[in-house]
Every structure is written in structure tokens, then in C-alpha cells.
Amino acid sequence: MILAKRPEIDRFLSRPEPGIRAAVIHGKDRSGVAERATTLCKTVTPDLNDPFNVTLLTDTDIDADDGRLEDALTAMSLMGGRRLVRIRLGNEKASTDKALAAALKIHADGGYNPDAMLVIEAGGLGRDSALRKAAEASKGAVGIACYEDETGDVARMTREALAAEKVSLSSDALDRFVSRLPRERGLMRQEIERLILYIGPGSGIQLGLDDLEAHLGVEPDASLQDAALQAFGGKAAAAQSGLRRALAEGESSVVAVRQVSIHLGKLRRINILQNAGAGAKEAAKAAGVFWKQEAEMLRQARAWRLPELDQVLESVNSADLATRTTGMPEALIVERLLLEISARARRMGL
């Protein structure tokens, strides 16, 4: 079964139908996929770290042991409650895709533990993906594609997050803030949280446009923004210099990757708006581009088209994960990412 409309997706994620035993949530916005998967998983069990009722697997786990997935899906709860099998895919290997598709078909038809819920988080699955086809064709499973949030959805998300902390923005300030936000869910949430801290949680204050501009003008990570700008412009040495300066000033590698993702998001936004008929300056303004950087951003956007940006997004997501989970030197991970982007930019003539 396919879920495509936002109201039906939100309704399913909060109250899944009893006959559904599997869900494949996929999209290029990894944090958006993870957020929706977490919402769904919490309807199965409130404690996602429960060692008795929750099994978390990756594609590496499945590739290393052919029987591990079947064991997880057939296992019964030892302590009562419903079983949850959650799978996070880090790549799109054809062999893993087919293996998961076969297991999903059996489980959706009740062939394993019929009380278990299978939730699979994946990247951007194409229409030729066996896993995606299996989820969309089965009556006992759903396929949910995560696309970029529309401006209205982002505004609603911002209003709700602010209201929960008893603060708000005026209508013109909200429009301005939303236009500046990256379109990646995780980064979006971080920027909204930073704004809430700036206003003061629980203060009851409504921020106007002038006060918001003061907040937007505070850029503690300006060196990282410059590093991202230089990398996408093909200037490797300048990008390295900006990164090292920022790290020396106490900025973190996690924030450095975030700035690369924000810059990529702005280029994507410019592309999408121009493809929809917007003028160059109009698109740059709507994407939240600082006026002093407008000419350079538009120069980059002419070379960095959506297919090229999507390729880089995979590298950005990998670097983000690596800076949080691996034992590799974080600064080296970010520097390698900037050099990769710079090299791609130079090959495109920037």
C-alpha cells in the first residue's frame, strides 16, 4: 500500500492500522525518514531501547548473517508487549534490497511472528527497488516516501515548536525565518531550537522582524559558512583555511558538517525555485542567501544542478554519521568532505 498524502501519512504514523505489519519509510532527507520512523516505532513500544522487545539491525548486520533478520522477525516477546524490528539501511545494495523485499512479503502475509512490527528506514529508493515495490504492493505493508517539506509545512512546524515553549514570531518574522531555514529536517529542528533559546523558553515573548534580524545576524560559525561557500566554489585551500580557523576558535566538526548541509540546501532551493519559474534574485532571496553572497551563490547554482547536489548529499550524510559515531578524527572527516566537494566543483568548471 502506498501512502502519499501528508494527512494520511501523519494519521498512519500516529495510529497505524492493526493489519499493517511492515513499513518502508524512504527518502533522501535521512533525518526526516528517521523522525517519521521514530514516531511510528513509538506506537509499538514507548521504550525504543527495550532489549527484550526491540531489535535494531543495519544492512551490515543482515549481510554478515543471512539468518539474523528471520530470527528477529520470528522471535516472540519474552516479557509481554509487541515486538519491534527496526532496520536502518546505510546503502542501496541490490542483494540487501532483494533480501529485505523477500522477508517483507513473508512477514506482511503473517508468515513470521504476526504480532511483530517491521520498520525499515532507507535512503532514496528508486521505483525499481524490490523493497519499495514489495511494500507498495502488499496489503499488510506500506511504503512512505519522504519528500522535501513545503513552505507551509515548515511554517506550521515552526509555529508549533515555538508555541510549545510559549514563544512566537510575528507573521513577517515567521516568513523571514522560514525562508532562511535549511530544508533538511534535522537541521531545521536545530535552528528552531536555537531560536527558542534566543527568545527565552516560557517567556511569552513574540519576536518581531527587527529583533529576528538581530538573531539572524549573530553568526558564531561564520568561518564555517565561509568554508562551505569556498568548497562549493571549488576553492579547496580557502575552504580548508576557513575550517581550520573555525575549529581553532572552538567550533565543532558536527556544526561544520551542518553548515555544509545548509549551504547545499540553499543551492537546492535556488534550483527548485528557478525550475518553477522564479527569477535568479528572487530565488536567492527566498533561499535565505545573504545579499553579499548573492552573486557567488547564483554562480554556483548555475553549475550545481539537482543531480550533482543529490550526489554530494550522500557524502554529507555519511560525514554527519561518521563525526557522531566513528572513532576517526572528526576534523579529518570534515576536511575530506570539503576537499571532495571542491574537487567536484572544479570538474564542473567553478
Residues of the chain with CATH 1.20.272.10: 222-347
**What torsion do the CA atoms of 135, 150, 154, 27 make, to the nearest 10 degrees?**
30
Q: Which CATH superfamily is domain 2-145 in?
A: P-loop containing nucleotide triphosphate hydrolases (3.40.50.300)
Domain with CATH 3.40.50.300 in the chain: 2-145
In order, the DSSP letters of 183-230 are: SSHHHHHHHHHHHHHHH-TTS--EE-HHHHHHHHT--TTHHHHHHHHH
The distance of Cα 52 from the centroid of its chain, to the nearest Å, equals 29
Instruction: Give the angle subtended at the CA of 227 by the CAs of 223 and 264, to the nearest 5°.
Output: 120
Cβ atoms of 205 and 170 within 8 Å: the answer is no
CA distance 175 to 265: 18
Residue 120 confidence (pLDDT): 94
Cell of 269: 532551493
| Residue ranges matching CATH 1.10.8 in the chain | 151-216
Q: What is the pLDDT of residue 350?
A: 92
Residue 256's contacts (CB-CB under 8 Å, 6 or more residues apart) are 221, 224, 227, 243, 246, 247, 334
Strands in the chain per DSSP E: 2-3, 22-26, 54-58, 84-88, 117-122, 141-145, 168-169, 206-207
SS3 284: helix
pLDDT of residue 221: 57
Class of domain 151-216: mainly alpha
Residue 220: the pLDDT is 47
Is the pTM here over 0.75, yes or no?
no
Rounded CA-CA distance 76/10 in Å is 29
**Helices (H), ranges, 233-279:** 236-248, 253-275
Q: 224-253: b or e for each residue (b if 16 or more CB lie within 10 Å)?
A: bbbbbbbbbbbbbebbbebbeebbeeebbb
pLDDT, mean of each 10-residue run, the chain (350 residues): 85 90 88 89 90 88 85 85 88 85 93 91 88 92 84 86 94 85 74 88 91 68 83 93 79 87 93 91 86 90 94 90 78 93 94
Residue 304 backbone phi and psi in degrees, to 5: -85, 95
Q: What CATH number should be reported for the domain whose range is 222-347?
A: 1.20.272.10
